[in-house]
Each structure stands twice: as structure tokens, then as C-alpha cells.
Structure 1
Amino acid sequence: MVRTAPRALAQIGRLATPAAESLAGPVDVKVKDFFREVSRLLPWTMKNYKLDEITTLADLRKNVALLFRQNAHIKDPKVVNILIYKGREELESVALQHKQRHHLIGQFVIAPSEMRAEMHKKRDISPFLLRFYNNQSAQ
């Protein structure tokens, strides 16, 4: 039986609530806690949105982790709090089923794999193209 959205929301805990206590504490701990919240909701999301036809839970978790790693260089606590807040809003919209299946497929299944391919692709650009992209004239 598929759980209802209120039960899924209960798994998430406090959603998108900017409280004073959320600003305190080490940044790494807050990010790890949020990643755990997201990971706990992934099986429900897989079942409810029928994503198991397209991907596995391990691949979906890997793609979500890749999205987290994209912002690993950010160390400013205020910026991290904003990113966690936006992530919780996104998680809430998924749990309340405000997103459709194709939104999740494009955002969490296809896009991260394309990003991974981009990261591994060699970037051999000719000097002419570098000048062209930088809007410089030939000398």
C-alpha cells in the first residue's frame, strides 16, 4: 500500500521552517541531517511516482548525492542555510505530490547523469574557439 502524503511529510519532520535554532550548529552536521531526510523519503518517492520502472533506488540516491556534491565548496553558513531551506521546499513539493513524474525524471534521473558525463568529458578547445568565446579578436 502506498503511503499518503501526510505520512510522507511526517517522515520529513519540520519542513521549510526557518527557525533560529536552524542557524546554529556546524554546517556539516546540518547538511548530513538533510541528506538523511532526503534519503529516507526516496523509497516512498520511488514507489509513489513509479520510478522503479526507470531507475533503481541506488542510482537515484547516487544522483541526489551528486546534486549535494555540486555545492560542497560552499562553506558560508548563511548560504548553506538558504540551500537547505530551498531543498526542504523542494522535498515538501515532492512529498505533497505537487510535482509530476516527468519533473522528477528530468530533475533527478536524467539531468544528474548528464552532469556526470560532462564532468568526465575532456575539454580540448582550440585557441581560436577560446578567443571566440571570450569575444577577443585575432591578433
Structure 2
Amino acid sequence: MVRCSVSVAAQVGRLASPQADALGGPFEKKVQDFFREVSRLLPWTIKNYKLDEIVTLGDLRRNVSLLFRQHAHITDPKVVDILIYKGREELESVALQHKQRHHLIGQFIVAPQKLREQMARKRPISEFLENFYTNRLP
């Protein structure tokens, strides 16, 4: 097993601390900073989990970005803080190698591809359903 480098462990320990979430400021900046932190850890993750056989760095960044965009509609700062905190916990478990390779493959490679396919498959709603949803049935 490949050991976690000291600098990565120190960085993750700093990221997962509650003080990092207590910073003031707009939540968009917090989300951008967290995405940068995740992106900085991706090359290390690919190397240590040997994901280069399956996915490139660009594809993995694209998948992580899709997972971030999945929650783009949320505007409540408290909810955003909770999501960032949960994301930091997830990042910490990846960096400290508490997850196995197949967990990462399922969560960050296969699941975003299925989500992308579902988004592409959306069909227009029929006229009957549109009337039904707006409560305008004949």
C-alpha cells in the first residue's frame, strides 16, 4: 500500500478543520476555493489509487466539476457550508486512503458518466403532462 505523504495529510487535516468553514465571505468564493483544493489533490489521487489506467486527469476533473454543478441551484449559505463540510470529510477520507480503489471508481468515474447520460436523455414533456402539472386538465 502506498502511504499518504506528510504534506498531503497536513493539507487535509487543515481542510477538514471546522475553522476552515467558519471563514466569512460569500459562499461562491468558498465553493471555488474548495473546488481548487479538490483539483489540487486529484493528481495525487490518480497516482496513489492507480486510476491512470481508467481515467485521465482532465476526465476526472470534468466528473468532479459535474458533481459540483449538480448542487449549483442551492443558494442558502448554511446549506452550502454543510455541503462543503461533507465534501471536506469525503476529501479527507480519500487522502487518508480510507477508501478503496473501487469506491473511487464507482463514485467519481462511473456515477458522473451515468448522470451525464441521464441529463442528455431528457425528453420534452408531453402536452398532457404539462397540463397535468399546471393543473389545467380539460
Q: Is the 8 A contact 1:3 1:44 kept in 2?
A: no
The CA RMSD over aligned residues, in Å, is 2.3
Give me the whole-angstrom Cα distance separating, in 1, the residues matched to 2:60 and 2:25. 29
Instruction: Give the match for residue 103 of structure 1.
Output: 103
Q: Does 1:70 align with 2:67?
A: no
CA positional deviation for 1:21: 6.3
Write the letter of the residue equivalent to 1:53.
E
Count of aligned pairs between the two proteins: 130
Write the letter of the residue equivalent to 1:105.
I
Write the letter of the residue equivalent to 2:99.
K
CA offsets 1:58-95 (integer angstroms, 9 cap, x no match): 00000000000000111111000000000000000000
Instruction: Give the match for residue 35 of structure 1.
Output: 35
What is the identity percentage for the equivalent residue pairs of Structure 1 and Structure 2?
73
Provide structure 2 residue ranges, at least 5 long, that are not aligned to the other structure: 130-138
Q: Secondary structure at the match of 2:18?
A: coil
CA positional deviation for 1:14: 1.7
CA positional deviation for 1:13: 5.8
Q: Secondary structure at the match of 2:122?
A: coil
TM-score by length of 2: 0.83
CA offsets 1:21-63 (integer angstroms, 9 cap, x no match): 6252110100000000000000000000000000000000000
CA positional deviation for 1:3: 6.5
Q: Is the 8 A contact 2:55 2:109 kept in 1?
A: yes
Instruction: Give the match for residue 17 of structure 2.
Output: 17
Write the letter of the residue equivalent to 1:64.
V
Instruction: Give the match for residue 112 of structure 1.
Output: 112
Write the letter of the residue equivalent to 1:92.
E
Q: Does 1:90 align with 2:81?
A: no
Instruction: Give the match for residue 53 of structure 1.
Output: 53
CA positional deviation for 1:8: 1.4
Closer, same or farther: CA 20–53 of 1 in aligned 2, 3 Å: closer
Provide structure 1 residue ranges, at least 5 long, that are not aligned to the other structure: 131-139
